Amino acid sequence: MAISAAAPESISSGESGSAHLRLAHSVLSPGAQFADEASFHRWWKEVGDRDRTRVRRVAFDELERWRRDPATGDLGHESGKFFTVHGLDVRLPGAPVEHWQQPIISQPEVGILGLLVKEFDGVLHCLMQAKIEPGNAAGMQLSPTVQATRSNYTRVHGGNPVPYLDYFRDAPPHQVIADVRQSEQGAWFARKRNRNMVVEASGDVELGDRFCWLTLGQVYRLLAVEDLINMDARTVLSCLPLAGQGLSGALPARHRFAAALAASCTPDSGALHPTAEVLSWITEQRTRHEVHTARAPLDSLAGWRYDAERVAHESGLFFSVIGVNVLSEGREVRQWCQPMIEPSHQGLNAFLVRDFGGVLHALVHARVEPGYLDVAELAPTVQCTVENYTLLPDSARPPFLDDVLDAAPERIRYDTVLSEEGGRFHQARNRYVVVETERDADHPDYRWVALHQLTGLLRHSHYVNVQARTLTACLHSLTAADGSAFGAVGAF
Amino acid sequence: MAISAAAPESISSGESGSAHLRLAHSVLSPGAQFADEASFHRWWKEVGDRDRTRVRRVAFDELERWRRDPATGDLGHESGKFFTVHGLDVRLPGAPVEHWQQPIISQPEVGILGLLVKEFDGVLHCLMQAKIEPGNAAGMQLSPTVQATRSNYTRVHGGNPVPYLDYFRDAPPHQVIADVRQSEQGAWFARKRNRNMVVEASGDVELGDRFCWLTLGQVYRLLAVEDLINMDARTVLSCLPLAGQGLSGALPARHRFAAALAASCTPDSGALHPTAEVLSWITEQRTRHEVHTARAPLDSLAGWRYDAERVAHESGLFFSVIGVNVLSEGREVRQWCQPMIEPSHQGLNAFLVRDFGGVLHALVHARVEPGYLDVAELAPTVQCTVENYTLLPDSARPPFLDDVLDAAPERIRYDTVLSEEGGRFHQARNRYVVVETERDADHPDYRWVALHQLTGLLRHSHYVNVQARTLTACLHSLTAADGSAFGAVGAF
């Protein structure tokens, strides 16, 4: 099925410091594939019914084509591709916990997370994929158009070609809207990064099986559904160079939060701290903290037990490394084995947000994680798994945690459980929360930043971590929350 | 001596994507410490006569307080601080030379290169230091206000406190104008970076011995003098967030090059490739190239000979590691030993520049060096040591080299030999050249960028390499070349 194209002239990327995008998004649009949310869900169910995926835990010995290094216990694929699981020794002088060891995933290849967008009848649409991954809580989730490791797209696994890949590997004549490498979980991945791309298609685009066109507004609406928009889609969405011009004018004055949110997307509305000051603070944080990491053998990590079926912390906390056997039955039958990381508990990622002079700001934390390429990245105000702190010193308890846990319901602007990457993490679910506050936050490791500042930083690699990118996408999604004010035209 | 302060209100950092700075620079100014260049040179000679520094080559065994690791031959300080010299094994699949080994300096600490600036009578002045370093061709050079390794400023060497350091370690109430970590020579340093800072002082500033206030215009004029403005000063100067507003209007139309240069400093004047496209090209370059490095023992590097006095390449090309004993006699007597890198020949770093629609663009090269933190950085059009290519395959000969070597004299806009860092490199001198061209340059690894795009990238770490930063400062300096048009007021 092909949807014929409208002329793309209303999307243009400007040239004045930060590129911005005049996008139109709507919840309902005459050109939309789905007239309403119910019709999307019917399609979703129909696609989901076609496939069955069975994920079975297996011992490390039963991981076909994977080898356990006899000297170290490290787990690697026989091809030398995909990823390995090894140990890491971490030293953070001055931190509440100054030294520890842990397993970590090493995946040096840079994959592509690509979102193809296109205007139909003046409304921006995203080409989304219904994708099954073994670790997903709900089995199938909405992913970006392309989600491919280098091993995938060079077809080490001997699978089918990756649909739509050429739009991202050889973009012209299509328009590249965002193209940046971003980190992923620095607690679980050693220096992993993926290339986040948004490309606007010119000409007709064939609509493949398991793919659908959603307006950006529809995608934003679906971000409020548990375990639906996958992590890769969220990180790519966060890189959209949105600008809020035109939003705030359309708002009734009583929508104070919505107006401050719209202003926050608009570079002209300013910020509490000028960007030069924010950049200097990041430089200071990255200079002040020292991170020393060294590879260590997986089978002799202090505090970890390595048995036939898992590598787990003695306390039962944090996470385990497990093995799974995946059988996917549908149009084609695929079967494979792989190690995965299984977190012990659900995590919490939250932004405190506050209105300064009519502009909404998020409180970001300069967070050090051992897997980051460059010491620290901007993280949510709170990013933690509460249960883990039973084992850690009181000084390690995250600042502002109680502001989130005790937030009055009327101050909670967003609150949904979303899944992390289902290709590497097994049932990794985090509660994402946005809480409006009026409190001060005078802490040297935290700063209030406007959303347009985050958008500016997201043009560059390694500033904003994957959890904060999800929350950035969630904040953007709230601009579509009120259909009457935002949904209809909403030039970002 | 203290020079009293003018109010700093004419320097302000804006908030609209890229911060810009309304600076005033002049070659002559009533408030300047030096009324003309001759009076600067008199001061320079007077300071230089006070000190004598003697640098003597010594065998590695005679390097007091340095140890040669018996297992590897690696050279390190007994304190474990400062730096080490070890070996590196480099693999660049697909490059003209795919595999080699070499010595490299490892200096993981992030030092501070800090320039203190201040307005006097509405004209921006820089606090420069007359600094002696053992590797300097001319002994003494002009450095930024502060040039300190972490070992320096935490006083591992037991020396005096670093003057003016507090302006950079605890900036408020002073204004931070630039603050970013940048790489240095990726061929000689493993992942070294220094924090480049420009801070505007509020209040009176005591003028120390060996320090002087120069207007930015005077500094730019002195950039045309051989071996005078040192590398650290040049890299900090390149990070000044200049904006060219007001320059072009003041220009007589006949100054076509000058007008295009001024327009190139102005974000509003646009660029051949929108910044989003340039960023995407950088992402592509950094994704496409793979660099694999592994530490190797210094005493068994393929192609290198390690004898009592040097580690040198068998061919006599590239560079050597040597040992020096430094005796500095002046107000205080200091003596120390250290290893240094000595290049075999003078190098060549050149920008081809071209006018596109009245805006000057420089042709940058996405260059891979083994010591970069992130694969590739933007380098000069040509960055090479011509003699080294006698040993390398023809395919390795740099594109555009002949455009520089054969340039007609009237097309050469800048041409001066400048020194690299005299604290680590012995007599490392490079010819820096800017050549105006009208040729096309359709090469996937090269892009034409406007100067304001480089300035925008220089707000962030690791985009522009140290040689291209020098050339950026040199191009900026040409705005001061014509005293009548630029020197007088010149709000950047």
DSSP assignment of B160-182 equals PPPTTHHHHHS-TTSEEEEEEEE
Mean pLDDT of B32-51: 89
**What is the Cα A387 distance to its own chain's centre?**
23
Residue with tokens 């005293």: B483
Q: What is the DSSP letter of A263?
A: H
Strands A146-148 and A175-183: unpaired
Q: Where are the alpha helices (DSSP H) in B243-387?
A: 256-264, 275-288
Tell me which of B153, B285, B287 to substitute to probe the interface with A (most A C-beta atoms closer than 10 Å): B287
Distance CA B198, CA B23 (A): 13
Question: Which residue did the predictor score with more confidence, B27 or B237?
Answer: B237
- Model pLDDT, residue B155: 67
**What is the Cα B273 distance to its own chain's centre?**
26
Mean pLDDT of B108-116: 94
Q: Name the minimum distance, in Å, from the CA of A192 to any CA of chain B.
A: 12
**Closest partner CB to B15 (pick from A178, A274, A284):** A274
**Closest partner CB to B283 (pick from A195, A277, A373):** A195
Which A residues, 51 through 110, put their C-beta within 8 Å of a C-beta on chain B? 110
- Model pLDDT, residue A419: 97
- The count of other CB atoms within 10 Å of the CB of residue B101 is 18
Which residue in A has a C-alpha nearest to residue B277's C-alpha? Answer: A176
- Model pLDDT, residue B23: 42
- Of all residues in chain A, the percent with pLDDT exceeding 70 is 87
Which residue in B has a C-alpha nearest to residue A453's C-alpha? Answer: B17
- Chain B touched by A293 (CB under 8 Å): no
pLDDT in tens, B457-478: 999 999 999 999 999 999 999 9
Mean pLDDT of A298-318: 97
Q: Name the minimum distance, in Å, from the CA of B279 to any CA of chain A.
A: 7
- Chain A touched by B280 (CB under 8 Å): yes
- Chain B touched by A373 (CB under 8 Å): yes
Distance CA A392, CA B361 (A): 55
| CA-closest candidate to residue A433, choices A351, A341, A331 | A351
Phi/psi at B98 (5° precision):
-85, -20
Instruction: Please tell me the least confidently modeled range out of A267-271, A341-345, B321-325, B472-476.
Output: A267-271
Mean pLDDT of B285-310: 96
Distance CA B486, CA B288 (A): 42
Which residue in A has a C-alpha nearest to residue B286's C-alpha? Answer: A181
- Model pLDDT, residue B2: 28
Decide: A485 and A251 in contact? Cβ < 8 Å.
yes
- Chain B touched by A276 (CB under 8 Å): yes
Strands (E) in A210-317, as ranges, are 211-215, 292-296, 304-306, 310-313
Residue A107 class from Cβ within 10 Å (0-12 exposed, 13-18 middle, 19+ buried)?
buried
Decide: B238 and B265 in contact? Cβ < 8 Å.
no
Residue B203 class from Cβ within 10 Å (0-12 exposed, 13-18 middle, 19+ buried)?
exposed
Q: Which residues of B touch A277 (CB under 8 A)?
A: 176
* Contact call for A179 and B286, based on CB within 8 A: no
- Model pLDDT, residue A70: 96
Which residue in B has a C-alpha nearest to residue A270's C-alpha? Answer: B15
Taking all residues of chain A, what is their mean pLDDT, rounded to a whole number?
88
User: CA Rg, chain A, in Å?
Assistant: 22
pLDDT over threshold 70, residue B213: yes
* Contact call for A287 and B241, based on CB within 8 A: no
Q: Which two tokens stand for residue B466?
A: 């140290």
Distance CA A461, CA A466 (A): 11
Task: Name the helix (H) or strand (E) containing A133.
Answer: none
Q: Which residues of A touch B180 (CB under 8 A)?
A: 279, 283
Which amino acid, B131?
Answer: K
| CA-closest candidate to residue A265, choices A451, A27, A102 | A451
Tell me which of B21, B192, B200, B279 to substitute to probe the interface with A (most A C-beta atoms closer than 10 Å): B279
Tell me which of A461, A462, A463, A464 to substitute to probe the interface with B (most B C-beta atoms closer than 10 Å): A461
- Chain B touched by A179 (CB under 8 Å): yes
- What predicted TM-score, i.e. pTM, was given to this entire model? 0.90
* Contact call for B176 and A276, based on CB within 8 A: yes
Mean pLDDT of A372-396: 92
- Model pLDDT, residue B431: 98
Tell me which of A18, A154, A170, A179 to substitute to probe the interface with B (most B C-beta atoms closer than 10 Å): A179
Q: Mapping DSSP to helix (H, G, I), strand (E, B) and coil, where does residue B219 land?
A: helix
Q: Name the minimum distance, in Å, from the CA of B289 to any CA of chain A.
A: 11
**Residue length of chain A:** 492
- Chain B touched by A363 (CB under 8 Å): no
pLDDT in tens, A415-443: 999 999 999 999 999 999 999 999 999 89
Q: Which residues of A touch B12 (CB under 8 A)?
A: none
pLDDT over threshold 80, residue A149: yes
pLDDT in tens, A237-251: 999 988 654 444 445
- Chain A touched by B154 (CB under 8 Å): no
pLDDT over threshold 50, residue B157: yes
* Contact call for B13 and A284, based on CB within 8 A: no
- Model pLDDT, residue A451: 97
pLDDT over threshold 90, residue A205: yes
Q: Which residues of A touch B13 (CB under 8 A)?
A: 274, 276
- Chain A touched by B356 (CB under 8 Å): no
Q: Mapping DSSP to helix (H, G, I), strand (E, B) and coil, where does residue B65 land?
A: coil
State the pLDDT confidence band at A229, using cuts at 50, 70 and 90: very high
**Closest partner CB to B16 (pick from A267, A277, A460):** A267
- Model pLDDT, residue B327: 94
Q: Which residues of A touch B178 (CB under 8 A)?
A: 276
pLDDT in tens, B414-462: 999 999 999 999 999 999 999 999 999 989 999 999 999 999 999 999 9
Mean pLDDT of B186-205: 95
- Of all residues in chain B, the percent with pLDDT exceeding 90 is 74
Q: Which two tokens stand for residue A473?
A: 């996408």
pLDDT in tens, A155-177: 666 667 899 999 999 877 899 99
Q: Which residues of A touch B276 (CB under 8 A)?
A: 13, 19, 176-179, 241, 459
Q: What is the DSSP letter of B479?
A: T
- Chain A touched by B245 (CB under 8 Å): no
Decide: B281 and B447 in contact? Cβ < 8 Å.
yes
- Model pLDDT, residue A252: 53
Decide: A101 and A88 in contact? Cβ < 8 Å.
yes
Mean pLDDT of B221-226: 96
Mean pLDDT of B299-318: 97
Q: What distance, in Å, lies between the first and last C-alpha atoms of chain B?
A: 29
Distance CA A469, CA A462 (A): 11
Which amino acid, B135?
Answer: G
* Contact call for B374 and A461, based on CB within 8 A: yes
- Model pLDDT, residue A157: 61
DSSP-assigned letters across all residues of A72-84: T--EEETTS-S-E
Residue with tokens 């949807």: A3
pLDDT over threshold 80, residue A24: no
Which amino acid, A467?
Answer: Q
Q: Mapping DSSP to helix (H, G, I), strand (E, B) and coil, where does residue B19 land?
A: coil
**Closest partner CB to A179 (pick from B17, B280, B374):** B280
Alpha carbons within 13 angstroms on the beta-carbon side of residue A218 total 24
Which amino acid, A8?
Answer: P
Q: Which residues of B touch A456 (CB under 8 A)?
A: 17
* Contact call for B13 and A180, based on CB within 8 A: no
Which amino acid, B274?
Answer: P
- Chain A touched by B292 (CB under 8 Å): no
With vertex at residue B442, the alpha carbon angle to CA B441 and CA B445, rounded to the nearest 5 degrees, is 95
Mean pLDDT of A288-317: 96
**Closest partner CB to A19 (pick from B179, B270, B274):** B274
- Chain B touched by A154 (CB under 8 Å): no
pLDDT over threshold 60, residue B485: no
pLDDT in tens, B254-284: 589 999 999 999 988 999 999 999 999 999 9
CA distances from residue A192 to A378, A433, B240 in whole angstroms, order as listed = 16, 25, 33
- Model pLDDT, residue B295: 97
**Closest partner CB to B15 (pick from A171, A275, A459):** A275
Decide: B425 and B340 in contact? Cβ < 8 Å.
yes
Distance CA B177, CA B12 (A): 9
Strands B111-120 and B193-200: parallel
How many residue contacts between A and B have a Cβ separation below 8 Å?
A: 86
| CA-closest candidate to residue B129, choices B236, B25, B208, B220 | B208
Distance CA B364, CA B381 (A): 5
User: Looking at the predicted complex, does its ipTM rise above 0.95?
Assistant: no
Taking all residues of chain B, what is their mean pLDDT, rounded to a whole number?
88
* Contact call for B280 and A176, based on CB within 8 A: yes
List all residues 6 or more positions away from B45 whose beta carbon is below 8 Å from its beta carbon.
Answer: none
- Chain B touched by A459 (CB under 8 Å): yes
Decide: B459 and B376 in contact? Cβ < 8 Å.
no
Q: Name the minimum distance, in Å, from the CA of B125 to any CA of chain A.
A: 21
Task: Name the helix (H) or strand (E) containing B48.
Answer: helix B37-50
pLDDT in tens, B350-397: 999 999 999 999 999 999 999 999 999 999 999 999 999 888 888 889
Which amino acid, A135?
Answer: G
List all residues 6 or more positions away from A408 whose beta carbon is below 8 Å from its beta carbon.
Answer: none
State the pLDDT confidence band at A479, using cuts at 50, 70 and 90: confident
Which residue in A has a C-alpha nearest to residue B461's C-alpha? Answer: A283
List all residues 6 or more positions away from A149 whose beta carbon is below 8 Å from its beta carbon.
Answer: A82, A107, A109, A111
Q: Which residues of A touch B176 (CB under 8 A)?
A: 276-277, 280
- Model pLDDT, residue A156: 63
pLDDT over threshold 70, residue B29: no
- Domain extents in chain A: 19-478
- Chain B touched by A357 (CB under 8 Å): no
Mean pLDDT of B340-350: 98
